[in-house]
Structure 1
Amino acid sequence: MASSTRTDGDTWTITTSVGFTALLVAAARAVETERPDALAQDPYARVFLEAAGDQRAVALADAGDGAGNPMAATRHLGVRTRFFDDFVRDAVAAGVRQVVILAAGLDARAYRLDLPAGTVVYELDQPKVLAFKEETLAAHGASPAAGLRHVPVDLRDDWPAALRSAGFDGAAPTAWLVEGLLPYLPAAAQALLFERIVELSAPGSRVAVEGQIGSLDLGRFRAITDRYSQKGNPLGDFDVTALFVTDEDRADPAEYLAAQGWTVTRAGNPVELGRSYGVRDTVPADAELLSGTIGYFTAALPAG
């Protein structure tokens, strides 16, 4: 059972608590990869599912995203993957050679994207999650396309110190990825996260963010989740909403970054972002209102 109970200072493996959500995202990426109109390709998604040996995640990927299946509401994860992939491609095309992925989970961009020589990717996450990822890809014979440095650290701790110890260059521009992370952080921790990003960023740095706009209606979220959890749903009674933190005073990180001199470009909510890629079915119609509480944006710090 992948428990969804949170406690202060909790940790997780790839099949428990927040770690299990990385497997769910891998399942969604596997489904996206196998679509004829795929927005992103992740050849390692199913590799992770099989290595984890969690039949629930495998069953979700096998079910696909047809109507009534538990994965029917997850096309937006394909859209999200494309958004962050494009961000990395644009950053390295502009000369950025330092990429930091916060709460990297089972993201495999260091392996599957064509990154220029000299690019270094730092992946931060729980030690057991990164260990599983590294061991799985090594066993599969996969090699990163760029320099890859794992930083095993809890983002509630002093992750900037751990990042510097791994070789992070504070004088070089950085591309930061904040993907699938903020709903799991309290408002104060989210604010501190962006304060640290600003402190660590040299001129020319940029960031891509999946953020929360306003408060998240967990009751509505659970109702939609239940609708797509038909009899026989592989997830059983795992409740992802129990992992979320819904502080009412959560600030908009885009506004904070703008106040710090960053130039912000908003990409819209999942439906709007999907339409920019030509996707009309990013989320089921009954989930469109809920998707309005999620917003994507990029921000850049002038080079000087």
Structure 2
Amino acid sequence: MRTWDSEQVGMEGDRQLVGTGKAAAAVGVNPATLWRWERDGHVAAETRTVGGQLRWNIDDLRRQIEAITDTPPTTGPNDVPAGGSEVVGGWDVTHGVGLTALIVAAARAEEAKRPDALAVDRFAAGFVQAAEPAMALAAVDGPVWSAFVGMMAVRTRALDTLILDATTAGIDQIVVPAAGLDARAYRLPWPSGVTVYEIDQPGVLAFKQRVLSDSGAVPHSRYQPVACDLRHDWPSALHTVGFTSTAPTAWLVEGLLPYLSPEVEADLFARITELSAPGSRIGIETLDLVAADEWMHTTAARGFEAATGCVLAEIWDTRRRAAATDVLREHGWQTRSRELGELGAELGRAPTGPAADMARLAAIVDAQRS
């Protein structure tokens, strides 16, 4: 396989080379499935950029798939990380989706150093340190990384505010699907009587609990971990530990949707609706999939990859699906969506440069069920 500079990749003669997301869509598979087939030697990309992103010739890829006598193995039950996406590999804090959780923790740790921090997560640095020496994210730097830190600060502040507003209105059940390394149960000033349910794979919860216990952290709410993958019967697991669907619930879906297939995302919203009594509320981070496809092939995306070691093109699923706001409205929710850039400007952090490009990718949806 040849390795070219990213700027040179795009055309070879009359053959169009495309990224993994577009190639996967053209042949009807999940981008992560295509990545795994390439990793396991079932198919071969045309080339790989200096930054490590695969580039495909679609006609050649179709021929390779047709030439396979046995259907390439699909993702097995142990290969799916928290959130039910089809990203390959079990949960590992320094790889794949696990690495993205660690990167967000590193960004929150960096934000906490600011005297004007929008959100202070005093546990975030501990997660980063616990992953070393395998990963030294504390040392990352540069304009793209700074932009990402700012974006995560705005996202964190917006969702913190939304979820605390829900408790002020009387909601005392908080559910965080695919919670990752989020530590809201420990760092937010919850009213008395609130229970925070965190759903995630056992490995995620065990890593997080070990780090928090070592630091002497104590939750500010009743904290109930739910060790269950979102592909499985997580509603039953949630009910088993005390959740009730007859009372309003506040849901927090943060940093999850980009890793889900359209089918899994639709199922997630359907199940949340089934479990949500009138008066429930949900905060969601959504991604503009068209803009994300374009952004992943920019200089800023290559800078993010260089700073963090994470190739988002290999783990985001940008196959088109109905907008989250449309789906929720069909399920009876009233929705409001605001771009991160708009929210940042309100908080005195109007994004500029690489931050402005990143902020255009994401929005925060606030929905309530009447």
Q: Which moved more, 1:120-129 or 1:149-158?
A: 149-158
Q: 2-side partners of 1:115 and 1:229: how far apart?
A: 36
Say if 2:148 and 2:358, in contact at 8 Å, map to a contact too: no
Matched, 1:227 2:303: yes
- Pick one of 250, 256, 279 that aligns with 2:327: 256
Counterpart of 1:55 in structure 2 is 135
- Pick one of 139, 151, 166 that aligns with 2:214: 139
- Deviations 1:23-49, CA, capped at 9 Å, x for gaps: 100000011111122100100011111
Q: CA RMSD in A?
A: 2.0
Counterpart of 2:52 in structure 1 is none
Aligned residue runs from structure 1 range 5-44, under 5 A: 8=75, 9=77, 10=79, 11-44=90-123
Counterpart of 2:312 in structure 1 is 240
Percent identity reads 42
Q: 1:271 to 1:55 in 2, by over 3 A?
A: same
Say if 2:151 and 2:355, in contact at 8 Å, map to a contact too: no
Aligned residue runs from structure 1 range 1-304, under 5 A: 8=75, 9=77, 10=79, 11-53=90-132, 54-60=134-140, 63=141, 67-68=142-143, 70-223=145-298, 224-228=300-304, 233=307, 235-236=308-309, 238-248=310-320, 250-266=321-337, 268-281=338-351, 284-286=352-354, 288-289=356-357, 291-302=359-370
Say if 1:271 and 1:291, in contact at 8 Å, map to a contact too: yes
Q: 2-side partners of 1:208 and 1:228: how far apart?
A: 26
1:229 CA displacement? 5.3
1:288 CA displacement? 3.3
Q: Which moved more, 1:99-108 or 1:293-302?
A: 293-302
Q: 1:257 to 1:70 in 2, by over 3 A?
A: closer
Say if 1:113 and 1:145, in contact at 8 Å, map to a contact too: yes
- Deviations 1:225-257, CA, capped at 9 Å, x for gaps: 213556xx4x34x31331100112x11121222
Structure showing greater radius of gyration is 2
- Deviations 1:107-158, CA, capped at 9 Å, x for gaps: 1111111111211100011210110001111111111011111111111222
- For structure 2, the 5+ residue unaligned runs are 1-31, 37-73, 80-89
Q: 2-side partners of 1:181 and 1:93: how far apart?
A: 25
Question: What amino acid sits opposite 2:323 in the alignment?
Answer: D
Q: 2-side partners of 1:138 and 1:242: how far apart?
A: 33
Q: 1:99 to 1:273 in 2, by over 3 A?
A: same
Question: What amino acid sits opposite 2:195 in the alignment?
Answer: V
1:74 CA displacement? 3.0
- Deviations 1:158-201, CA, capped at 9 Å, x for gaps: 21122112221111110000100000000111111000010000
Say if 2:151 and 2:359, in contact at 8 Å, map to a contact too: no
Give the secondary structure class of the aligned counterpart of 1:34.
coil
- For structure 1, the 5+ residue unaligned runs are none
Q: 2-side partners of 1:198 and 1:86: how far apart?
A: 22
- Deviations 1:9-63, CA, capped at 9 Å, x for gaps: 4221222210111110000001111112210010001111112224332222xx4
Q: 2-side partners of 1:290 and 1:50: how far apart?
A: 26
Q: 2-side partners of 1:126 and 1:247: how far apart?
A: 25
Q: 1-side partners of 2:170 and 2:292: how far apart?
A: 40
> What TM-score do you get using the length of structure 2 for normalisation?
0.73
Say if 1:69 and 1:229, in contact at 8 Å, map to a contact too: no
Q: 1-side partners of 2:243 and 2:305: how far apart?
A: 43
1:287 CA displacement? 5.5
